[in-house]
């Protein structure tokens, strides 16, 4: 499986590099990092909410990257985004489009008034990439709160889950021919 990591906003190269390195340890896939940075179009910004419309950005990203010939596209954007039924989302994915987006602004510790912690930030990004990638690979939300596929409605829930698929989700991926390199024996 070939996966593109596509920055949608400016990132320190070490963030993208560190996230990609960790992802290569978790999923048996070839990861490619786009050398170009896409800019989220302002037409998808809701000025009343001061957030981007995640659903529209997802469709746009797929159109922007559909000629690349890769199996999955994961966009990273340090912006705030929403879907109609929620105040915000950490990410969004489409199984049919084989595309996902992770919004990293709310994954930053300093977003919550804390000191910036690089390791926490990277771990949160990896968790959300794994989660959204899982959705593109036919996984639904998992009832195991420690599984990376559990739904996160707050940063506390993101921090509580592990950067690993539970045995059930790992088996589902395995049945689809996707090898998880570090399957979790998740703590309870």
Residues identified as active-site? 132
Chain-centre distance for alpha carbon 66: 18
Give the Cα separation of 10 and 13 in Å (integer): 9
Task: Write the secondary structure of the chain as one string of H (helix), E (strand) and C (coil).
Answer: CEEEEEECCCCCHHHHHHHHHHHHHHECCEEEECCCCCCCCHHHEECCCCEEEHHHHHHHHHHHHHHHCCCEEEEEECCCEECCCCCCECEEEECCCCEEEEECHHHCHHHHCCCCCHHHHHHHHHHHHHHHHHHHCCCCCCCCCCCCCCCCCCHHHHHHCCCCCCHHHHHHHHHCCCCECCCCCCCC
**Is the CB of residue 134 less than 8 Å from the CB of residue 165?**
yes
């Amino acid at each position: 499986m070939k996966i593109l990591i596509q920055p949608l906003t400016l990132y320190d190269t070490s963030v993208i590099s560190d996230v990609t390195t960790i992802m290569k340890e978790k999923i048996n896939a070839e990861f490619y990092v786009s050398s170009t940075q896409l800019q989220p179009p302002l037409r998808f910004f809701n000025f009343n909410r001061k957030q981007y419309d995640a659903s529209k950005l997802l469709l746009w990203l797929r159109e922007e990257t559909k000629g690349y010939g890769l199996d999955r596209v994961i966009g990273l954007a340090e912006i705030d985004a929403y879907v109609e039924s929620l105040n915000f989302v950490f990410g969004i994915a489409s199984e049919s489009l084989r595309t996902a987006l992770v919004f990293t602004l709310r994954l930053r510790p300093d977003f919550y008034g804390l000191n910036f912690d690089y390791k926490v930030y990277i771990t949160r990004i990896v968790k959300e990439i794994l989660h959204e990638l899982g959705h593109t690979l036919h996984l639904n939300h998992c009832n195991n709160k420690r599984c990376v596929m559990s739904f996160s409605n707050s940063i506390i829930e993101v921090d509580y889950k592990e950067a690993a698929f539970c045995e059930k989700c790992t088996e589902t991926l395995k049945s689809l021919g996707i090898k998880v390199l570090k399957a979790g024996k998740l703590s309870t």
